[in-house]
Amino acid sequence: MAGRFSGRRILVTGGAGFLGSHLCERLLEEGAEVLCVDNYFTGRRNNIAHLLGNPLFEAMRHDVTFPLFVEVDGIFNFACPASPVHYQSDPVATTKVSVHGAINMLGLAKRLKCPILQASTSEVYGDPTMHPQPEHYWGHVNPIGPRACYDEGKRCAETLFFDYYRQHDLAIKVMRIFNTYGPRMHPNDGRVVSNFIVQALKNEPITIYGDGEQSRSFCYVDDLIEGALRLMASSAEVTGPINIGNPNEFTIKQLAEAVIRLVGSKSELIRMPLPQDDPKQRRPDITQARQVLKWEPTIQLDEGLLKTIKYFDELLNN
């Protein structure tokens, strides 16, 4: 099907990851030729196995902390472990992939004179003192804490993107991704949605950190990818940063109760201490996305959870 990216060769770094694999799939549907690059630190071959037979799809094993020499018409930079379990397992590598990876991909985009989109994160806001979080908010981040490798790595990547934009007139796009969930999430990534679903399907106790009153907003993956595509296809003067996420806010306890209800599980809730620097609240202000991209999420929590539960149920039973 021809679409916004028809006939263009698009590089997706982190393309075998949760978000990257969905992005590769959608780009192919849009008629693009897709080069998927991943070092498989958190990405998985199973996520892209169904795409390998497509003549417009190519998978390359590569670590973006090293330069990449390819010819493409656009770059989506999604390479980086995104869950605390994974990014804290090797914090130095996490900072390297955010910073060195950004430098290498920006250098490639500069050489090719092609647009590049950075998958940034709501973690740039840290544990916010402003709620909900608009793009002009500078954040409240602990620069030496256990989450800093990811938070500050992504903040530095944004700095680099805007410096390349100002210094080299590079066509950049920066999207700040809020909590996203859906099929192909890593079952052991330690994130609340995957944790709760796996525990509920096994009728195991569901682990809540703290009192469960901390809040999050959960965006279904299909909505998130549509936001990324709209941002990349937007006019050159639209650089971002733009928040992409679902503004409906739920406490962690409410999420756990919803998962138990939808699974029909016998799981009970147990409480554990809250991790250091864990944000108390997180909700995007998506005014810019609505106005500039004409984007807002269409899939609400119950519908998205049912699709995600189905995926994990099949995964656990195979």
Residues marked active site are found at 150
Q: What is the pLDDT of residues 116-143, one digit of tens each?
A: 999 999 999 999 999 999 999 999 999 9
Cβ neighbors of 217 (< 8 A, separation 6 or more) are: 178, 179, 245, 246, 247, 248, 249, 250, 282, 283, 284
Return the pLDDT at 212: 86
| Domain of residue 34, residue span | 9-181+220-246+283-298
Q: What is the pLDDT of residues 137-178, one digit of tens each?
A: 999 999 999 999 999 999 999 999 999 999 999 999 999 999
Return the pLDDT at 313: 95
Residue 196 domain-assigned?
no
Q: How many folded domains does the chain comprise?
A: 1
Residue 190 domain-assigned?
no
CA dist 182 and 219 (Å) reads 9
Return the pLDDT at 88: 83
Residue 27 domain-assigned?
yes
Q: What is the pLDDT of residues 37-60, one digit of tens each?
A: 999 999 999 999 999 999 999 999
3 state DSSP class of 312? helix
pLDDT of 2 above 60: no
Residue 76 domain-assigned?
yes
pTM score, whole prediction = 0.95
Residue 124 domain-assigned?
yes
Residue 163 domain-assigned?
yes
pLDDT of 84 above 50: yes
Neighbours of 204 (CB within 10 A): 14
pLDDT of 89 above 90: no
Residue 315 domain-assigned?
no
Q: What is the CATH number of the domain that holds 73?
A: 3.40.50.720
Residue 3 domain-assigned?
no
Residue range 63-86: average pLDDT?
A: 92
CA dist 179 and 181 (Å) reads 7
